[in-house]
Amino acid sequence: MLGFLIAGAALPLAFTTQAQSVAPPPAGLHAIEGCWQGNGTVMGKPVTLTLHAAPAALGAMIAVDTTSVAATDATDRYAAHLVFGWLPAKPGGPAGALTGYWADSFGGAFAAPGEGEAEAQGFEMRYRFGEDIFVNRWRRMAQTLDWTIIARDTAGKEQAFAAYRLKAAPCPAAPPARHR
């Protein structure tokens, strides 16, 4: 019994050591870290957008929190929480494979896992919502971050869904955690 308790107590230490040995994020993903503000369109509707991207889970993931407000109606708001992780390169396999998760202010009905690839100047993530795949392309150029989203139907036809152009901005002080 004592051996079982000692082995069980050492288990969290093994996970802690493993989490700290994760490779750094691909450059294209790491480039979005920080705070961003800008404008864009969602289904043709003008919006303003703020975005904060930071390491999470001891640096093994990157978490993004973003909020948008319609330019013509301050009560028309949207928020999303995205998580990105990178997979270790497999021998003979492609480098830069990504995994992720999309959750937003529409609730659990529209949450989705994603997959993608990192590139030199950014990355692409794909999420399935219903029959369509939403392709998110992120590109950083100096102090500008472009984020575009297209909807791809089952026949492969693509349609613009959203496009944002963001500029690097100072990060506000972190507010205290809120409880429901």
Cβ-proximal residues to 119 (8 Å cutoff; 6+ apart), any chain: 28, 96
pLDDT of residue 110: 85
- Segment 31-41, tens digit of pLDDT: 999 999 999 99
Counting the structural domains of the chain, the total is 1
Does 61 fall in a domain? yes
* 23-27, 43-47, 135-139, 172-176: the lowest-pLDDT one: 172-176
Does 49 fall in a domain? yes
Q: Tell me the percentage of the chain whose pLDDT exceeds 70.
A: 83
Does 159 fall in a domain? yes
Does 8 fall in a domain? no
CA dihedral 16, 19, 20, 22 (to 10 degrees): 160
> pTM value?
0.82
140: Cα separation from own chain's centroid:
14
pLDDT of residue 172: 86
Does 162 fall in a domain? yes
Does 177 fall in a domain? no
pLDDT of residue 25: 86
Does 82 fall in a domain? yes
The domain containing residue 120 runs over which residues? 24-169
CATH code for the domain in which residue 76 is found: 2.40.128.20
Give the largest Cα separation in the chain, rounded: 66
Does 12 fall in a domain? no
